[in-house]
Amino acid sequence: MDKYYRCVFSNLYISTKIFTHVHQIQLNDYSLKYNDIVDAGWMYRNGHIELLKEKINNTNIKLYVCNKELFSLIANAETCLFIALFERTKNSALGDLDNKSAYDDFLSNIHNKEVLMYLHKEGHLRSFNS
């Protein structure tokens, strides 16, 4: 098998034809490019954790973070990831929790004690309650 592989892909004409054909097939699949992937929740739900971490560390990349997913899905599963995303989107996240109903909903969704301790230590729990 390795012999055939080497024969095919060492031939520039054949390998170019193969890659051109594969590229044409992929055009209709609407594959996302690196810069097109900006939804933190999508990356997390689809198991692209390393990609999400890379994009969090690159401050030049704008990320879309749904606060509902941040305060439930990510907060309850990945403390470090939650903290990194929260720090990037703190103003937006805190702004969405300015009324009693949103605050109660927020608290009822978080079951991760480490996240709650972090928010309390940083003084954010006090700022939610109005």
Spell out the domain ranges in the chain.
1-31, 32-128
Residue 71 in tokens? 């305060």
Sign of the alpha-carbon dihedral angle for 65, 69, 72, 76: negative
Is pLDDT of 97 > 60?
yes
What pLDDT is attached to residue 95?
79
- Using a pLDDT cut of 90, give the percent of the chain over it: 42
User: CA 125, CA 22: separation in Å to the nearest integer?
Assistant: 52
Reported pTM = 0.69
User: CA 113, CA 51: separation in Å to the nearest integer?
Assistant: 26
What pLDDT is attached to residue 32?
77
How many Cβ atoms from other residues are within 10 Å of residue 76's Cβ?
A: 14
User: CA 91, CA 85: separation in Å to the nearest integer?
Assistant: 11
What pLDDT is attached to residue 129?
44
* Least confident segment among 9-13, 28-32, 37-41, 87-91: 28-32
Q: List pLDDT tens digits, range 56-70.
A: 999 898 999 998 899
What pLDDT is attached to residue 126?
58
